[in-house]
Amino acid sequence: MRNSGSAKVSTPAQILLVGHNRCGLAARSAVLEEQGYKVTPASSGEEALEHYSKTRFDVVVTDHKMSRMDGIELAARIREVNPSARIIMLCGFMEAVGLTEQATGADLLVPKGANEVSHLVRGVARLLRSQPPRKAPAAQKPAARAKRAAS
């Protein structure tokens, strides 16, 4: 049955995909594009930040281990610009080196390996369904707090 045109057409989610390995970048990009996402690849943290400054991305997927700027530094720099950014970090040996979401600044860690594709696809979908965290209210000035407390 054809749509009469009254339904809202959704645009595909924008994903910034970062990794230094061209083959891995191409393979992950193909998988995410097959899921209907618009993928912008970046081969370094610096290139990723350049893209991020120009485009609104729904999710950032980055390798943990990269030269010059690793995924942890990239996540921190993105969070400086957008504290509610959704970030997935791909890691090999994450348990062996003790990586956690809190330690990396990522919303989700995805282990590299045999199940990486399914974990990545599910992780992206889950983050896109979740509401971004609300920004914390700006700290009140002491005078404003005292004035409100007195009323």
23-35 tens-digit pLDDT: 999 999 999 999 9
Q: Tell me the C-alpha distance between 16 and 21, whole Å.
A: 15
Residue 75 to residue 150: CA distance in whole angstroms? 42
Confidence check: pLDDT of 93 > 60: yes
Flag the least confident range among 60-74, 75-89, 103-117, 131-145. Answer: 131-145
pLDDT category at 2 given cuts 50, 70, 90 is very low
- Whether the per-residue pLDDT at 111 is higher than 80: the answer is yes
Q: Share the mean pLDDT of the chain.
A: 83
Per-residue H/E/C for the chain: CCCCCCCCCCCCCEEEEECCCHHHHHHHHHHHHHCCCEEEEECCHHHHHHHHHHCCCCEEEEECCCCCCCHHHHHHHHHHHCCCCCEEEEECCHHHHCCCHHHHCCCEEEECCCCHHHHHHHHHHHHHHCCCCCCCCCCCCHHHHHHHHHC
Q: Are 84 and 133 in contact (CB under 8 A)?
A: yes
Q: In the chain, what are the domains?
A: 14-150 (3.40.50.2300)
Main-chain dihedrals φ then ψ at residue 47, nearest 5 degrees: -65, -40
Q: Could you tell me the pTM of the whole model?
A: 0.79
Give 130 or 55, the one with higher predicted confidence: 55
Residues 125, 103: Cα–Cα separation, whole Å? 23
Which pLDDT value is given to residue 9? 53
Mean pLDDT of 46-71: 95
Mean pLDDT, to the nearest integer, of 8-36?
91
Question: Which carries the bigger pLDDT value, residue 1 or residue 22?
Answer: 22
User: Which residues make Cβ contacts (< 8 Å) with residue 43, sequence separation at least 6?
Assistant: 18, 19, 20, 22, 25
Residue 94 structure tokens: 């994450």
